[in-house]
Amino acid sequence: MTITIYHNPECGTSRNTLAMIRQSGEEPEVIEYLKTPPSREKLIELIGAMGITPRELLREKGTPYGELGLGDPKWTDDELLGFMLAHPILINRPVVVTPLAARLCRPSEAVLDILPNPDIGPFTKDDGEVVIDAQGRRVL
């Protein structure tokens, strides 16, 4: 079974998502998308698989989103894709693809809904937030 994560190791959400995938018993294909950005075709495929728009995949925080004026609705989907390809930091993360679905995993525990084995046991995020308690219950 193949699971792929488009990952930024500097991002806590991305690190937590990767840890949950590994704790499920899977070793995913890890694509550090800032080093190896997806092609236009792959980006379109991922957006389609997630059932979202290019605008919904845009990341604002820590990116040139504001200086490029990407909040303006004048930009077409094709133009937004062009910005993400020119500035991969604009692609929100982590994007995870499993045999069940593709999803932007924000928050990180969203990955549990698409893992073939979501029973990962107790899990606490990097920041100390408990996601799954010692009894195996998801904490909301």
Q: What residues act catalytically?
A: 11
SS3 content of the chain, % helix, strand, coil (to 5): 35, 15, 50
81 Cβ neighbours under 8 A, 6+ residues apart:
40, 43, 44, 54
Write the burial class of residue 72 (CB in 10 Å: 0-12 exposed, 13-18 middle, 19+ buried): exposed
